[in-house]
Structures are given as C-alpha cells and as structure tokens.
Amino acid sequence: MTKNDGNNAEWSYNHLSNMGPSSWKYLCSAYSKCGGKSQSPINIVNKDVLTNLSLPKLQLSYSEVDVDVEYNNHTYQFNVEGDNILKLNGPPPEATTLVSTLDC
C-alpha cells in the first residue's frame, strides 16, 4: 500500500478493505495516529454500558432548517445551516457546540 502524503486519503469502515480501520495509519501522514484503541469506529455493546444518572441531560436547541445531504463513499453527511446547538452542562468543562454537520 502506498502512503498518500496529503492531508487526507480515501478510507473505509470495511475491515476487509485495504482502506479499512487497520490500515488507516498507513493511508496518509494526517492519519498516522490512527490505529489506537480510542478512534472510530468503536463497538459500543448496549448491555455493557454503565449509566450515570447524576450527569445532567444533553440540551439540544434547534430549528427547522434546509439540509444538504451527501454520500461520501463511507457515510451520509447532513450539512445544516442556522443556530443549532448541542450544550453539555455539568462538571467542568461545560461545552456549547454549534452543529453544522451530522454523519450517519
């Protein structure tokens, strides 16, 4: 496999592909730190999830907007405009994020 020295390269979630997760760190220099234990994709097994009920709930603030949908060979990307906010409250750090893209 030849490494692309650009800032991005085609990749895949397909574990059988030579562009799959086990190859990400070799695809281009920008992906060199991929291949650890914390990168996407991760397998969250519902029965193993621990719930902390003392954490505050997510606050979502959104309005009706036009959405541009595109498929980029590995995910559907929903590009949205407007002031759509995801706010995480609770123990520091608190975070407020303007949502502009959703991937499915």
The residue type at 15: H
The pair of three-digit structure tokens given for residue 20, joined into one six-digit string: 């799959």
Instruction: Read off the pLDDT of residues 55-67 as tens digits, 9 standing for 90 and up.
Output: 777 777 777 878 8
Per-residue pLDDT reduced to its tens digit, 14-23: 778 888 888 8
Of 12, 24, 4, the closest CA to residue 75 belongs to 12
Q: What is the pLDDT of residues 73-101, one digit of tens each?
A: 777 878 888 777 766 666 656 667 667 76
pTM to 2 decimal places: 0.40
Identity at 69, one-letter amino acid code: V
Q: Give CA–CA dist 53/101, Å, rounded.
A: 28
Q: Which two tokens stand for residue 48?
A: 């193993």
